[in-house]
């Protein structure tokens, strides 16, 4: 397992981000912010990300890593153009790149899949509870409970499909309504 998260350019955004490891030889950024907590006096080691906000502010975010096999390891743009999504084990972080003190941790510690649906303005997270959809304003909807062993199959029109055992779960992208039916295969 690697400690370098994958970058997902999922939504239009007004910032740049790079893993510090790829920036060798450049001067260190004086503003270093540790998460959780947005502390300046140190914290746990984790994913080191160099962030350049639309305002020109340059800072380094150090996101505590709790990665285990099966956990999501990704950084991504988000439906809100100045927000950075960071998942490195545990609940994912959302950080306003213009103000590193404006952050939150999503209560989704078992998240294992992120799916961008930019034509609906949604970021979908699959965890052991089900699917949650986030838009630029925050949590848009949650699906009905889906078993923790459900596998993401993909999107078909205005639904996402998951399979758990012999059941197919169809989740509406408009409002999260979930229909479970016997899989035909």
**Domain segments of the chain: what residues?**
6-111
Classify the phi-psi angles of 154: left when phi > 0, otherwise alpha if psi is within -120 to 50, otherwise beta: left
Q: Residue 82: which of 64, 106, 102 has the closest Cα?
A: 102
Question: Residue 49 burial (CB < 10 Å; 0-12/13-18/19+)?
Answer: buried
End-to-end Cα separation, the chain, in angstroms: 33
pLDDT in tens, 27-65: 577 899 999 999 998 877 788 899 999 999 999 999 988
Its pTM stands at 0.90
pLDDT in tens, 162-178: 999 999 999 999 999 99
Alpha helix (H) residue ranges in the chain: none
């Amino acid at each position: 397992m690697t400690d370098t998260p994958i970058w997902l350019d999922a939504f239009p955004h007004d910032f740049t981000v790079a893993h510090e490891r790829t920036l060798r030889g450049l001067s260190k950024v004086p503003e270093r912010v540790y998460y959780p907590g947005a502390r300046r006096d140190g914290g746990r080691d984790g994913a080191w990300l160099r962030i350049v906000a639309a305002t020109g502010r340059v800072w380094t975010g150090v996101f505590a890593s709790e990665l285990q096999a099966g956990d999501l390891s990704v950084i991504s743009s988000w439906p809100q153009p100045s927000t950075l999504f960071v998942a490195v084990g545990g609940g994912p972080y959302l950080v306003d790149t213009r103000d590193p003190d404006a952050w939150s941790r999503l209560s989704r510690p078992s998240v294992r899949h992120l799916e961008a649906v930019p034509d609906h303005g949604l970021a979908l997270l699959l965890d052991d509870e089900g699917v949650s959809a986030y838009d630029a304003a925050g949590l848009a909807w949650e699906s009905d409970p889906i078993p923790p062993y459900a596998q993401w199959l993909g999107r078909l029109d205005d639904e996402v499909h998951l399979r758990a055992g012999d059941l197919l779960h169809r989740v509406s992208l408009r409002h999260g309504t979930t229909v479970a039916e016997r899989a035909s295969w």
